Amino acid sequence: MSTEQAYFFTAALINLVLAFSGTRIKDPEGKQRSVLFFIIAFSANFLSWFLYVFDIGTTLKIASAVLSSAFIWGMVVFSYKRCECPLPRTLLSIIFLINCFALGYFTYADQLYNALHVSALFVPLAFCIMSYLFLNVKTHRNPSDVILAYTCLFMAIVVASRSLLLTFTPELFSATIISSQIIWPAFSVVSGVFALLSFTEEAQSKLQQESNTDQLTGLANRRSMDNILEKEWARANRHQRPLAVVMLDVDFFKDYNDHYGHQAGDNCLQRVADVLLKSVQRAGEVAARYGGEEFLLILPDTDESTARQTAEKICASIAEFQIPHQYSPLEIITLSAGVAALSNQNYKNIEELLLAADSALYQAKRNGRNQTQVASNNTE
């Protein structure tokens, strides 16, 4: 095997490995099937390189050109599906066929320069589409998506620049051949690896989100709440900034659950969670499910008065829903709330702050429910 054949064989193996790696990846649940087109694209690229290991004639050169086009436009289809964007099948099919016909014709006519000009038109177009999709369309973009997008932009510039060099400074064009032989296998590696890493990063992000989110309500769970509260407590003490917490509880929830059923109870908690999420608008504010039918708002840079107003608005919003509850004195679902703020009191730790909010909550319940109470100034 000559050095040239060994180069083509190595480049082919790189693409084969990437195609096989794609078989170990699954599309996220509920998403479009994109991995299949990744595998098809890199399998086509493997064959386009592998054909050059042999004493290739015109027919195989045409086949290789068509396969290389299949790789480029297969990755475009992959990008559309990966970014959850409607696929313009007819338009892409027409462009792909024109690309294949033009490359095949100039390869058959042994007009290498014209074939390169054709690639300089279609390849940058495809790569720019891919870059646009990952940078501007994909909703949950991760670092690997960004790297893939800019790699495509770089290759679009390289391919277009080679065509311009061939047109205006042909003496410099030959100097780019060796660099091109390095860049294309490198592009296969970078685009393939980071396209696959994108799935891993997305899965990790989903797992992290699920581990920090209450499954029923979508609010922060107790674990996440504890971590956030610890950080905000440290920040508030370090910079002498106010910090308030609001503890809320659904009144007579056990009776509601027993009478109307657990599904109705879950729906009720979800309605409450929706209101809480809408109430935390500023950066750093967090709504969490404390446990059962209890919730907690963490309000950094918020004084006692503002926290109380927030709690009262939430209680009023829930009452306005008029959710029937025949075991409640008002015959609707209501909330009770307790407020504790670091700005006016000298709590020693987070436990004291939460205990004060909890005490204020139960004071609200003893006073008749459907109201907000503020923790006493006496912390002893």
DSSP string covering 230-246: HHHHHHHHHTT--EEEE
pLDDT of residue 380: 39
**Residue keyed to tokens 């050095």:** 3
Residue 337: closest CA among 260, 282, 284, 275: 275
- The 3-state DSSP class for residue 367 equals coil
Per-residue pLDDT of 150-167, as tens digits, reads: 999 999 998 898 888 777
HSE value, Cβ hemisphere, 13 Å, CA-based, for 231: 10
Ordered mean pLDDT values, 10 residues apiece, the chain (380 residues) = 86 96 90 93 96 88 94 97 95 96 92 87 96 94 95 93 77 63 89 95 88 92 93 92 95 92 94 93 91 95 93 94 88 94 82 94 94 73
E strand residue ranges, the chain: 243-250, 286-291, 294-300, 335-341, 372-374
* Residues 168/25, Cβ–Cβ less than 8 Å: no
What pLDDT does residue 344 have?
Answer: 61
pLDDT at 137: 95
**Cα 8 → chain centroid:** 37
pLDDT for the residue 264: 93
Whether pTM exceeds 0.85: no
CATH code, 3-212: 1.20.1070
Domain 222-374 has CATH 3.30.70.270: yes
Residue ranges, comma separated, of all CATH 3.30.70.270 domains in the chain are 222-374
Buried/exposed code over 156-183 (b: 16+ C-beta within 10 A; e: otherwise) = bebbbebbebbeeeeeebeeeeeeeeeb
Residues of each domain in the chain carrying CATH 1.20.1070: 3-212
